[in-house]
Each structure stands twice: as C-alpha cells, then as structure tokens.
Amino acid sequence: MIPTETIERLTDLLARFEREEIEAEALCDDLEAVRDQDIARAMAGLSTEGMIRVLEMLPSERRCEVFDFLEPGPQYQVVERLDEDVAGALLDTLRPDNMTALLESLTPEQREVVVRLLSPKRARQAFKLLGYPPESAGRLMTPDFISLKPHWSLAHALGHVQEHGARSETVDALYVTDEDGRLLGYIGLRKLVLGDPHAEVESLMTDAAASITVSEDREEAARLIQHYDLTALPVVDDGGVLLGVVTIDDVMDVVEEEATEDIHKLGGLGAKHLSLRGASMLELFKKRIGWLLLLVFLAIFAAGAVSLFEETLETAVVLSFFLPLIIGSGGNAGAQGATMMVRALATGDVGPKDWLKLWVRELGVASALGVTMAAAAWGIGLFYGGTMLANVVFLSMIGVVVFGSMVGMLLPFVLTRFRLDPATASAPLISSIADIGGILIYFGIATAWISATAAA
Amino acid sequence: MIPTETIERLTDLLARFEREEIEAEALCDDLEAVRDQDIARAMAGLSTEGMIRVLEMLPSERRCEVFDFLEPGPQYQVVERLDEDVAGALLDTLRPDNMTALLESLTPEQREVVVRLLSPKRARQAFKLLGYPPESAGRLMTPDFISLKPHWSLAHALGHVQEHGARSETVDALYVTDEDGRLLGYIGLRKLVLGDPHAEVESLMTDAAASITVSEDREEAARLIQHYDLTALPVVDDGGVLLGVVTIDDVMDVVEEEATEDIHKLGGLGAKHLSLRGASMLELFKKRIGWLLLLVFLAIFAAGAVSLFEETLETAVVLSFFLPLIIGSGGNAGAQGATMMVRALATGDVGPKDWLKLWVRELGVASALGVTMAAAAWGIGLFYGGTMLANVVFLSMIGVVVFGSMVGMLLPFVLTRFRLDPATASAPLISSIADIGGILIYFGIATAWISATAAA
C-alpha cells in the first residue's frame, strides 16, 4: 500500500521498457492495476523519448490522465516533441489549474509553443487565468464549476448536475448564483440527494459561503479552507461574481510548498522553489551563494569589532578561546527566537499587534536562559582561565543571550511592519548580527574588568 | 471575507458580553450570521466562566458545534465546570477524531473525569481509538463511515446512504466491503447518483482503493492523500478489515503541524508542539534550554580546540579577528545543506538511497561556494593583515565551507539510517560541529604557514 515501493517497482519496469527489454503488451498488462499518479511519478526517471513511448502505449483516456499528473517540466518536453495533433489533444484535456501551472513555469517562447497547440477556447481560458497575479487564488483555481439557480427544484438541480457533472472537478460542493452570476450560497451534493425533490434550492442552501477574491493570496485561500474545514472554496471577483473554485488538494500542496519556502528562507537559502532531486549544481550554487556572500560581508564588521580590542587580546589571549562559545550562544538563542516567531506569524498563531506582550515575555525567558547558560559557562571559564575569566564569561553570556534573543524576536516584527517577509530574518542573519553585538559585549566587559583590576 | 477581521470583531463582542456590557439577546442576534468556527476561535480570549456563559446562551445544536471546534485545552476547562448532564451531552456529540485529540492532551486524572461523563458506547469507542500508537493513522481516523455491499443495486445503496448518511462525516467517498468487513473498493457519491439505479455497486466501484493500516504513521496517511489526490483515505487492520476513515481536512492540519515541528527542530528548539500565543514563560524556557545547554557543552570542545593553538595566537593576534568569519561561514554553509536535505527527506523529494549521488553533487557545489567565498574573504584578509593572512584565510575558507557542507549534508542521512529523525540535525548543531572543525582547519593552516615562513 506504500506508494514508494510501488513506484520503485514501476520505475524499474519502465526503465526496462525504455531499454526495450520488455514488450509494450507485457508492460500494458502490468500497468493495468497501477494508478495514473504512480505511472506519472515513475516516468520521472525516463528520457523524453522514453516518456513519449510510454504515453503512446497507453489507451488515449489514460494517456491524458497520466500526462495531467506529470510535472510541468516533463509535460513541456513531451509536447514539444510529440505530433501536433497528439500534443494538442493532451493539452486540451489538461485540468485548467494544471495548465496555469505549466504555463507559469515556461519562458515566453516556450509558452507560445504551448498556446499555439491549444484549441482557441482553451487558449482564451489560459490567458485569462494567467492574468491574475502570481501566487494569487486566481492562479490556483479551476474555472470549471457547476452553478445552480436559487429557484430551481432539487430535482431540476440534480438533473443539471447529472448533465454537467462529468466535466467538473468539484461536484461535492455546488454553488448557487443569481442571474448575474453573483455567489449566493452553496449546497452539498449530499443535501441535494437526500432532500425533498420538490423543494427549492434556496430553501436548503447555506448562505454566506466563505469565499475569496480572485487576486488575494493563495495562502489566504489555504487559511480559509483550513479554518472552515472546507473541501472547496469559491473564488469571486470584486463584484461577488463567481469565477472559479479552489479545491483542498491544490491548497494542501500550497501549505507544503509555503512551509518549504519558509524553512529554506529561515535556513538562509533563497526562496526559489527547487526540487533537490532534480536541481543542477549551478542552480544549487545560485540558490545558496547569495546569502553566504551577504554573511561574509557582515562578518567584516565582526572582524572590525574584534580588531577594536587588539590590545585587550594581546594582554589575555585566553579570551579568544571563548569567542566561539560567546558569539555562538547569542546567535543560537536569537535563532531560536526568530524561528518560533516567524513560524507563529506564518500560521497566524500570533499577529503583528502582539509584539509588545511577546517582547516582555521574551525578555523574561531570555534572562532566565542567559543566567542558566552563564552558570554552565562559568565553570568552563574557571577551568581554562581562573576566576576573572569565569566572571567575564558569566556576565557576557547573560548579555549576549538577551541581546541575541531581542534581535531574533523583534526583527521578524519589524520586517512584517514594513510589509517584508518575516522569514527573511533567517537564523544565519540573526546569528551574524548577534555575533557583532556579542563581540562588543564580551570584549567590552573584559576590557573594563582588566583595566579595573589593573587600577586596583 | 478575511476571517481575522471577523474574529477580531467577535473577540471584542464576546469580551464585552463577558464584562456584561451587552445582553445575551443582543449577542445572540449578532452571532446568528457568524460561523461556528469563528465563534470558537474568538472564545479563546475569554475566561472559562465567559466561555461557559457563551456556550449556555447558544441553541443546543450550535453549542455542540462550537464546542467541537474549541481547542482541547478550553474543551476540558469547560466540561470540568459544567453540569454533568450538559457536559455529557457536549462530549457525546464530539466528533470521534476530536475526542481522541482531547483525550490525548489530558493527564490520566483528567482523562478519567472526561470518560466518566461519556455514554458507555462513546467511552468504548474512545478507548479503542486511544489504543492505537500516538501519531498513527488510527489516532487520526473517524470510525463513522458508510460501507456498501458489492451486490447491492445502486438504488438500494443510495437508500442506505440516505438512511445512514446524516451521521457520517464522509459521504463523498463510500466504501465497499465484503461479508467480513474487508475493504473491496470505493464508489463516489457522484457515481451512485449519476449511474443506472439497477446496476450493481460492484460494476461501478473502483477496486484497489489506496488504504493505510491503522498503526502506520499519520504522515504516511498525509502522503497517500496528497499523492493520490484523495479527499478521504480508508484505514484498515492487518487483515484488510475497514476500521475508519482519515479525511483530508485532518491531514492538512497534520501537514502544517509536522512542518512546524520540523522548523522548530531545525531551529534548535524542542519538538513539543506549543502555541506561541498561549505558552507560559516556563514552557518556553523548557522548550529552549535543552538545546542551548547542549550547544554550550559542545562549545567546550571549540574552546579546547582554540587553546591548542595558544602559541600561534600569541604570535599573531590578528588571526583571532577572522575567527568569527571562518567558523561562521562553515556553519552557514553546513546549515544550508542540512536544511535542504532534511526538508527534502521529509517531503519525500529524496530518499535514503540517494545519498551517494547527492554527496558527490554537494562536494561540487560546496567547492564552488568555498572558492567564491574565499575570494571575497581574501580581500578582507589583505585589508586587515597583509598577504600572508589573506592566503591563510583563503585556504581555510575553502576547507571550512567544504567540511561544514559535508557534515550538514551527511548527518541527516546518518540519522535516517539509524531511524532517528533527520530534523535533529538542526542548524545550530551543524554549526557547532562545523565550528570545531573550522577552528582546527584555520589554526592548523595558519600554524603550518607560520612555521614554514619562519623556516624559510
């Protein structure tokens, strides 16, 4: 039942078919009991020619389904090389939201190739969907939906569903619209089936369906679907006219993608969505080098900060033993704070208005963390360099942990205030800022202590 | 349409009702057009007494719905203080999966209080669900489902659905079972409605429905639902007997929770799921101190590593200026690698078997990153300390970036091999390990260079 096993077996099978070790007929029999999604997933390991051979071997209805489940990259490679007729047929049956995803991923030239293969009707639809902003609900929605009129009888409505239902992705939630197409409410297929056939749709529909406007962010669509436990969310224009439907399975992919994006940003990686399996070395290099260079340049300030205390260091080289500990601890505490804050802001657990309350609490928590860590570090300081060093390490530790935590907690809020993505307050950025502060605090305290001791 | 606004307005309204500034009747009117989920969310701001007053004011059917949407914490606080009859009625109508979530969150004593209030039938059901392992599909499923027999006519099957459908969460996907309750296949409500009433269920059902065994991990359920674009997944025992259904809305919460857990683990925080809004200072302290102390103790080794090179440092204090840059860069590159790898392993983008291919690629990418960063650092080294320092910094930079990247990339795989959670290879842990290696590489190269120069 675990798809990874099925997919590994299938991948093997398809590879052997590609190397012409098995006949098309034998493969066909083997594929009968396999699901379309698994075939599509297993095809990822084939060359373009191999993919085309597998597709050509499938019965035409299945071919379209399997094609629908391929990733945009392979989809384009396949249609580019196929006969125009076959390619056009495959593209015309692509689900509208998947068509948007395919076109989104292409260069303008490639896009032209695809659009030329489409039927005029599908081409118009594709242009319309692409007109909505990137990452908006409009890009995610399918414009195939069934709408019912409020004064219809349930029997009439059921007849309408039976007639038009085959094409629509979402017959579970049916939407009720007025003469101008404005959304009035929804009715579940279940109510339609279970209700009195003579009753009017209006009497059984639920008004005030949750909905989203077409240009709103797709994350908002995900939040609404999660919050209201929906399986589908209607998408309307500013006038309330129903334009399409976002379904829960698309939204689940959004939740996963956005989580991955946030994780990558927090880890000091570019936001660009990249499959680690398929990425080239150049793509990986480009995704990672930007942040790393930025952090190298921030480290110039850290080097500058240390150089301010050259004299102190020459007096007590032992101070440098503790540099990794002191700056690391500030960075770690800050990164923790930032990580929690960014995620809580992303899931809506806390809002921008909560900053003061959270700041006060963070100050308390950071002080407690600082004192505990300082106590542990005091012992280490005593072992390496005696009481004076232990005391300097103790005081510095409290200072850097509190400083790092404050930076880590407040930066996400500041970024949110300026409408920037709080996930940019990544752990490495917080660490680098905490480093500089930590160096100044540590050597500042050490210098003061040394001169006080010298004076005494 | 954005729920945050609605919820803020509602929170205000309920707070005013709690302070007795508005009458129950006025509030009742206001709540009429509001959704149950929003009321539940807004109630989070009230005291237990406030929550009870709001619940008592709602009509009984709505009261159960709103109670169902509360978080387990408030649910327990409410039933503990309510009259036994009312509390029992609320608990008996709780959806089975939410009941499992409530009982999971309680201490044994609290659990006893709740179970005593349940009807014997619900209590038995609750014990059965709690018998499945934590985080398993069994804990997530609802045992309310409709099963059809293969030889029934569609008309008979539809009649059965109409009779039993009201209680079931999932009428969209109906499961077909044999005489012993073993899962044979499924049929959509849509097919049942649209098909010939005299046809047999068997002729229209889809066999080989994706399913999961009851003790498998809930993340596996999420993966299956996502991969096959399902809205519900049947849960079976080892013999294939249908036990319950996991629905996509529950799974979406799992996807979000697991992402948050991974983000927290990567950020060097405990895995315990904690709402940042509701957490106390002590809870936050406990969640964070474990990792921080572990990292402090790892830093002992860093201090020890620096102390090995005391002599070198005394000869050239300027070396310490670059300590933050060198060790930070290794840690940053390593944290990037670990972050990408952990996420790719979690989403199934790469598998444990891919390690060799990924390792070779990471070696190439890390070398390129190291050379680029070393070139930037060379300039900084030249500015602060002349050619020799610049050359030492250049070589060390390549070394630490490659070393850090290798640790960051391989540790998640090693953890996976030993069946440990790869997310434990958090960014701070990788940084701390990279610190120690970085110190040895940096001062090792510097010492060698200095003695070579001295010898020349």
Q: Would you kindly state where each structural domain of chain B is located, as residue ranges?
A: 3-130, 147-251, 281-455
Q: What is the enclosing helix (H) or strand (E) of B260?
A: helix B248-266
- ipTM for the assembly: 0.74
Encoded tokens for B8: 């803020």
Is A280 a residue whose pLDDT tops 50?
Answer: yes
| Residues forming a β-bridge with B207 | B185
Whether CATH 3.10.580.10 fits B147-251: yes
Whether residue A51 contacts residue A80, with contact meaning beta carbons closer than 8 Å, is answered with no
Count of C-beta atoms within a 10 Å radius of residue A275? 14
CATH of B3-130, one of 2.170.150.20, 3.50.50.60, 3.30.470.10, 1.25.60.10: 1.25.60.10
Contacts of B296 in chain A (CB under 8 A): 325, 329, 373, 376-377, 380
Count of C-beta atoms within a 10 Å radius of residue A359? 14
Task: Decide if A349 and B275 are in contact by the 8 Å CB cutoff.
Answer: yes
> Tens-digit pLDDT profile for chain B (456 aa)?
446 677 778 888 888 888 888 888 888 888 887 888 888 888 887 888 888 988 888 888 888 889 998 988 889 999 988 888 888 888 988 888 888 888 888 888 888 888 889 888 888 888 888 888 888 898 888 888 888 999 999 889 888 887 776 666 666 678 999 999 999 988 887 778 778 888 999 888 887 668 899 999 888 888 888 888 788 899 999 988 999 889 888 888 888 888 888 888 887 777 666 777 777 888 888 888 888 888 888 888 888 888 888 888 888 888 888 888 888 899 889 888 888 888 888 877 788 888 888 889 999 999 999 999 999 999 888 887 788 889 999 999 999 999 999 999 888 888 888 888 787 777 888 888 888 999 999 999 999 988 888 776
Q: What is the pLDDT of residue A302?
A: 87
| Short-list A334, A343, A340, A345, CA closest to A262 | A343
Q: What is the enclosing helix (H) or strand (E) of B184?
A: strand B183-188
Q: What is the pTM of this model?
A: 0.75
Count of C-beta atoms within a 10 Å radius of residue A391? 16
Task: Decide if A255 and B253 are in contact by the 8 Å CB cutoff.
Answer: no
Span A3-131: which CATH code? 1.25.60.10
Half-sphere exposure of B126 (CA within 13 A, CB side): 24
User: Cα–Cα distances in Å, from A51 out to A1, A33, A41, A61?
Assistant: 25, 19, 11, 16
Q: Name the E strands within B231-373.
A: 232-236, 242-247
Task: Decide if A303 and B384 are in contact by the 8 Å CB cutoff.
Answer: yes
Task: Decide if B2 and A220 are in contact by the 8 Å CB cutoff.
Answer: yes
| Short-list A308, A263, A264, A257, CA closest to A287 | A264
User: Is the Cβ of A361 closer than 8 Å to some Cβ of chain B?
Assistant: yes
CA distance B392 to A201: 79
CA distance B385 to B379: 10
- At A208, the pLDDT band (50, 70, 90 cuts) reads low
Residues 400-419 of A with CB under 8 A from B: 401
User: Is the Cβ of B269 closer than 8 Å to some Cβ of chain A?
Assistant: yes
* Sole residue written with tokens 């066909």: A28
Q: What is the pLDDT of residue A2?
A: 47
Mean pLDDT value across residues A299-317: 86
Whether residue B182 contacts residue B237, with contact meaning beta carbons closer than 8 Å, is answered with no
By DSSP bridging, strand A212-213 and strand A232-236 are: parallel
Residues 149-188 of A with CB under 8 A from B: 158, 161-162, 165-166, 171-172
CATH superfamily placement of domain A147-249: CBS-domain (3.10.580.10)
Span A281-455: which CATH code? 1.10.357.20
Closest Cα in chain B, distance from residue A288 (Å): 7
Q: In terms of pLDDT, which residue wins out, A16 or B162?
A: A16
Whether residue A100 contacts residue A130, with contact meaning beta carbons closer than 8 Å, is answered with yes
Q: Which of A295, A336, A439 sits opposite B267 (nearest CB)?
A: A336
User: Is the Cβ of B360 closer than 8 Å to some Cβ of chain A?
Assistant: no
User: Is the Cβ of A2 closer than 8 Å to some Cβ of chain B?
Assistant: yes
User: Cα–Cα distances in Å, from A124 out to A92, A131, B312?
Assistant: 12, 11, 72
Task: Decide if A276 and B172 are in contact by the 8 Å CB cutoff.
Answer: no
Contacts of B1 in chain A (CB under 8 A): 210-213, 224
Encoded tokens for B15: 């707070």
Q: What is the pLDDT of residue B2?
A: 47
The DSSP annotation for B48-80 comes to HHHHHHHHHHS-HHHHHHHHHHS-HHHHHHHHH
Examine domains A3-131 and A147-249 and report if their fold is the same.
no
